Amino acid sequence: MSDDLYRVKGMPEDEKDDHIVRAVALGGHVKAVAIRSKAIVSEAQKIHNTSSVVTAALGRFLTGSLLIAENMKNEDDTQTTIIRADGPIGGMTCVCDSKGHVRGYPLENDVPSTYHKPGKLNVGAAVGKGTLTVIRDLGLREPFTGMVELMSGEIAEDFTYYLASSEQTPSVVALGVSMDNSGVLEAGGMMIQLMPGATEEDIDYIEKRANGGFPDITFLMEEGFSPAKILDLFLGDPGIEFTDAYPVSYHCPCSKERMSEGIAALGKAELEKLSEDPDGIETQCHFCNRKYRFGRDEIKALLNN
Ligand SMILES: [Zn+2]
Q: Note the pLDDT tens digit of each residue in 97-113.
A: 999 999 999 999 999 99
| Ranges in the chain annotated CATH 3.90.1280.10 | 256-303
| Ranges in the chain annotated CATH 3.55.30.10 | 16-250
CA of 34 to the centre of ligand 1 (A): 27
CA of 242 to the centre of ligand 1 (A): 34
Burial 131-153 (b: 16+ CB within 10 A, else e): ebbbebbbeeeeeeeeebebbeb
CA of 5 to the centre of ligand 1 (A): 38
CA of 253 to the centre of ligand 1 (A): 6
Higher pLDDT, 5 or 67: 67
Please state, in angstroms and rounded to a whole number, the distance separating the CA atoms of residues 239 and 30.
Answer: 11
CA of 82 to the centre of ligand 1 (A): 17
CA of 252 to the centre of ligand 1 (A): 5
Contact by Cβ (8 Å): 54, 109: yes
CA of 220 to the centre of ligand 1 (A): 33
- pLDDT, position 3: 65
CA of 260 to the centre of ligand 1 (A): 13
Cα angle value 250/254/256 (rounded, 5°): 155
What percent of the chain is predicted at pLDDT more than 90? 82
When pLDDT is averaged across residues 168-172 and rounded to a whole number, the result is 94
Please state, in angstroms and rounded to a whole number, the distance separating the CA atoms of residues 51 and 53.
Answer: 6
- pLDDT, position 73: 86
pLDDT tier at 5 (50, 70, 90 boundaries)? confident
CATH of domain 16-250: 3.55.30.10
Examine the pLDDT at 1 and tell me if it is beyond 60: no
CA of 20 to the centre of ligand 1 (A): 23
CA of 142 to the centre of ligand 1 (A): 25
When pLDDT is averaged across residues 145-154 and rounded to a whole number, the result is 97
Q: Tell me the CATH class for 256-303.
A: alpha beta
When pLDDT is averaged across residues 171-198 and rounded to a whole number, the result is 95
- pLDDT, position 280: 86
CA of 273 to the centre of ligand 1 (A): 25
- pLDDT, position 291: 95
pLDDT tier at 2 (50, 70, 90 boundaries)? low
When pLDDT is averaged across residues 59-70 and rounded to a whole number, the result is 98
The tens digit of pLDDT for each residue in 235-249 reads: 999 999 999 999 999
Mean pLDDT of the chain: 94
CA of 204 to the centre of ligand 1 (A): 44
CA of 238 to the centre of ligand 1 (A): 44
CA of 101 to the centre of ligand 1 (A): 12
pLDDT tier at 300 (50, 70, 90 boundaries)? confident
CA of 264 to the centre of ligand 1 (A): 18
Ion ligand 1 — residues with CB under 5 Å?
252, 254, 285, 287-288, 290
Most confident of 39-43, 261-265, 273-277: 39-43
3-class secondary structure, 179: strand
The pTM of the whole model exceeds 0.85: yes
CA of 263 to the centre of ligand 1 (A): 15
What percent of the chain is predicted at pLDDT more than 70? 99
**CB half-sphere exposure, 113, CA atoms < 13 A:** 16
The tens digit of pLDDT for each residue in 190-210 reads: 999 999 999 999 999 999 999
